Chain A
């Protein structure tokens, strides 16, 4: 039986990441997309061509009443996640909510409570859990193959290229905006916590100067090691995660699916990255190694369906999603101005002064 599914938010994330894998699952009769929710008709139209049986709705409430979804995909800007998730649960639907889970840990708690009361699955979309190189690195670290851990260095930055359809993410935080920390930071922190266990923020600095942060530098502590995290929306970082153990060092290329190497003293040997995930709802499911974003989203969707059908735990549940938001809040509560020694001294002073107003 196909799960009746609605998509809430038909902008860039829905169109670029979800449309193809949803169409694949619909073809295999695992889901049936019955509703597309977006106040902008043209966004829904971009999805409707792939799902002939779906109806367009301008509000979620209307969709929940008319389409009676079993699964709701919340793909809207983060400031809408909490209310939309609560509404979906109130109508008896399971929910896959794209990261970041919400804009505050208070909202995360409300979402978790709503899931508990409705007795429904709450999964958070963290696509990188399904990147084979990421999964392989996690196995390597947790198996002790690198020896006792010493440190990690995570760097990710590039010119922001998502064809977002609203300016929501770029508004000041008081107006519902969220900067690079909420955007790629949630991916990074979720993955780092999945590898190293619970993290604590030791130091945090960002370049917010009246708005939301574009560049971030953090120092973190895990139970067994220390690490750093640098993120950017406007300049290219080296885009690597380096994990240093006493026995060897691992390097993961962040922007590739399958690029992982292990070595010592700077000489690295590429590793096989053949970690696979289920792609059907059988008891002995077929598995594939994701090789594209589309594959990874498909695996993520199948895992949510399996969580609903077999009571399996999603890769990231409400608790996992909320722990990232708590970590981010902790960081932001201690934010100091990011050192920018390349600015003139008077500009550095002005940036530091504006940082306080962010």
Chain B
């Protein structure tokens, strides 16, 4: 079996990709992580996963870590300031190590709010308020500028990767359970998502494809779903009726103190400084700041009252005003691909996972009968 080296394997996409590969019987799975702690998510698979340490911004270390791999997949996360640097380092390491294919994950956020219909080969926006989006766009532009001789580069551009292990999804679930979420323009716009299992299937298709498949591809679910439909699908199990959530106007962003702080933090020099200083702040102080920002803890896991005034997160506000679904026909045609999990099935799986976290409405333990199959 050809080896797939996954750089940044400790994140949720990396862990899900490893899970899919191992449970399908693949033997050539190599995780490239910056530190040992990133093994925690996939150590359940033991020796089925080969682990190598390398910082994704250090080309020399990467060359050793990916040597012999047939494909390298870049699923790194981290501060925006490091995104371009790691993209370059991984690309150069692939060339130096003679790896034939590089699968790079970009993001649909490079197209902002998708004000107009757009195709897979459109160039990213030149300007964006979010450092993450700017860094992803710059990475794409840098990759487009390379010659690629001897290295096939496949760039996947997912929308919101949702479902099992997705931080976005736990965020949505928590805010729905607390009845503190909001809907921009009543949730009429497009939820540009890709269910994690569908996205993993796309990455695997990009790894496995024979022949030349280099190019830039959008990655999304097959269905067109609105935010209201998405929240309706999750809300019931979380004790939330999305019809009662506050509606926020999508024409003008409702500025608040928190949003101003976010905006200042998103300025490139401030953002770089923030991420550099963050690692030097003692844990105790970090916890105290987080505790102050979070405010007093709500012990009511399932709130009884709906928020009347929404606390609007700028990123989510933009995600909720996306006007057009990104087309995924190019990927389907190039890879003979259809998404394996339908939206209703994905919702069912996600709700089962949310329940396992204790977020869904559930009965207290003493009211649930112990099964007869005790292992006492």
A163 with B48: CB separation less than 8 A: no
Is residue A351 within 8 Å, beta carbon to beta carbon, of the partner chain? yes
Chain A positions within 8 Å of B316 at CB level: none
A350 with B41: CB separation less than 8 A: no
Chain A positions within 8 Å of B45 at CB level: 209-211, 354
Known contacts A208-B44, A211-B43, A347 near B358 by CB under 8 Å: no
A91-135, CB < 8 A from B: none
Known contacts A293-B284, A344-B197, A163 near B37 by CB under 8 Å: yes
Using CB atoms, name the residue of chain B closest to A162.
B37
Number of chain B residues whose Cβ lies closer than 8 Å to a Cβ of chain A: 58
B37 with A150: CB separation less than 8 A: no
Is residue A276 within 8 Å, beta carbon to beta carbon, of the partner chain? no
Contact of A170 among B36, B284, B300, B340 (CB under 8 A): B36
Nearest-Cβ distance from residue B17 to partner chain A, whole angstroms: 13
A233 with B364: CB separation less than 8 A: no
Q: How many A-B residue pairs have CB under 8 A?
A: 179
Using CB atoms, name the residue of chain B closest to A174.
B46
B46 with A351: CB separation less than 8 A: no
Question: Given the complex of chains A and B, what is the CA–CA distance between A225 and B370 in angstroms?
Answer: 12
Nearest-Cβ distance from residue A268 to partner chain B, whole angstroms: 4
Is residue B276 within 8 Å, beta carbon to beta carbon, of the partner chain? no
Contact of B374 among A171, A203, A354 (CB under 8 A): A203
A209 with B364: CB separation less than 8 A: no
B41 with A160: CB separation less than 8 A: yes
Residue of B15, B35, B39, B163 contacting most chain A CB atoms (<10 Å) = B39
Chain A positions within 8 Å of B25 at CB level: 350
Is residue A207 within 8 Å, beta carbon to beta carbon, of the partner chain? yes
Question: Given the complex of chains A and B, what is the CA–CA distance between A320 and B35 in angstroms?
Answer: 33
Contact of B358 among A180, A211, A227, A230 (CB under 8 A): A230
Is residue A45 within 8 Å, beta carbon to beta carbon, of the partner chain? no
Is residue B118 within 8 Å, beta carbon to beta carbon, of the partner chain? no
Using CB atoms, name the residue of chain B closest to A341.
B352
B191-226, CB < 8 A from A: 197
Nearest-Cβ distance from residue A201 to partner chain B, whole angstroms: 7
Is residue B312 within 8 Å, beta carbon to beta carbon, of the partner chain? no
Nearest-Cβ distance from residue A275 to partner chain B, whole angstroms: 18
B29-80, CB < 8 A from A: 35-37, 39-48, 51
Q: Mark A205-237, 1 if CB is under 8 A from B, else 0.
A: 001111111110101010001111010011111
Nearest-Cβ distance from residue B9 to partner chain A, whole angstroms: 12
Question: Given the complex of chains A and B, what is the CA–CA distance between A266 and B299 in angstroms?
Answer: 8
Chain B positions within 8 Å of A159 at CB level: 40-41
B357 with A238: CB separation less than 8 A: yes
Q: Mark A246-283, 1 if CB is under 8 A from B, else 0.
A: 00000101001001010100111010000000000000
Nearest-Cβ distance from residue B18 to partner chain A, whole angstroms: 11
Question: Given the complex of chains A and B, what is the CA–CA distance between A162 and B41 in angstroms?
Answer: 13
B365 with A213: CB separation less than 8 A: no
Using CB atoms, name the residue of chain A closest to B350.
A342
Question: Given the complex of chains A and B, what is the CA–CA distance between A350 and B364 in angstroms?
Answer: 32
B344-362, CB < 8 A from A: 349-350, 352-353, 356-359
Chain B positions within 8 Å of A153 at CB level: 358, 364-365
Chain B positions within 8 Å of A267 at CB level: 300
A233 with B40: CB separation less than 8 A: yes
Question: Given the complex of chains A and B, what is the CA–CA distance between A162 and B44 in angstroms?
Answer: 18
Nearest-Cβ distance from residue A190 to partner chain B, whole angstroms: 20
A170 with B366: CB separation less than 8 A: no
Chain B positions within 8 Å of A57 at CB level: none
Is residue A142 within 8 Å, beta carbon to beta carbon, of the partner chain? no
Known contacts A170-B36, A201-B376, A343-B23, A207 near B44 by CB under 8 Å: yes
Known contacts A230-B356, A351-B23, A151 near B301 by CB under 8 Å: no
Is residue A321 within 8 Å, beta carbon to beta carbon, of the partner chain? no
Chain B positions within 8 Å of A49 at CB level: none
B350 with A170: CB separation less than 8 A: no
Is residue A167 within 8 Å, beta carbon to beta carbon, of the partner chain? yes
A151 with B37: CB separation less than 8 A: no
Nearest-Cβ distance from residue A345 to partner chain B, whole angstroms: 11
Nearest-Cβ distance from residue B101 to partner chain A, whole angstroms: 25
A238 with B359: CB separation less than 8 A: yes
Using CB atoms, name the residue of chain A closest to B373.
A203
Nearest-Cβ distance from residue A177 to partner chain B, whole angstroms: 7
B284 with A292: CB separation less than 8 A: yes
Known contacts A240-B301, A244-B366, A234 near B23 by CB under 8 Å: no
Is residue B146 within 8 Å, beta carbon to beta carbon, of the partner chain? no
Question: Given the complex of chains A and B, what is the CA–CA distance between A210 and B48 in angstroms?
Answer: 7
Chain A positions within 8 Å of B358 at CB level: 153, 155, 230, 237-238, 240
Chain A positions within 8 Å of B197 at CB level: 344
Chain A positions within 8 Å of B40 at CB level: 159-160, 170, 180, 214, 233-234
Is residue B302 within 8 Å, beta carbon to beta carbon, of the partner chain? yes
Nearest-Cβ distance from residue A236 to partner chain B, whole angstroms: 6
A152 with B375: CB separation less than 8 A: no
Residue of B24, B301, B358 contacting most chain A CB atoms (<10 Å) = B358
Contact of A235 among B19, B42, B47, B165 (CB under 8 A): B165
Contact of B371 among A201, A203, A234 (CB under 8 A): A203
Question: Given the complex of chains A and B, what is the CA–CA distance between A213 and B374 in angstroms?
Answer: 21
Nearest-Cβ distance from residue A81 to partner chain B, whole angstroms: 19
Residue of A164, A213, A228, A234 contacting most chain B CB atoms (<10 Å) = A234
Nearest-Cβ distance from residue B151 to partner chain A, whole angstroms: 31
Chain B positions within 8 Å of A215 at CB level: 44, 356
A226 with B36: CB separation less than 8 A: no
Nearest-Cβ distance from residue B354 to partner chain A, whole angstroms: 9
Contact of A253 among B42, B43, B44, B297 (CB under 8 A): B297
Chain B positions within 8 Å of A221 at CB level: 376
Using CB atoms, name the residue of chain A closest to B40.
A160
Going nearest first, the 8 A-B pairs with the smallest beta carbon separation are: A211-B46, A160-B40, A151-B366, A334-B375, A170-B43, A210-B46, A342-B349, A268-B299
Interface CB pairs A-B, < 8 A, 16: A152-B365, A177-B43, A203-B371, A204-B375, A207-B44, A211-B48, A217-B356, A236-B357, A256-B297, A259-B297, A266-B300, A266-B302, A267-B300, A342-B350, A344-B340, A347-B23
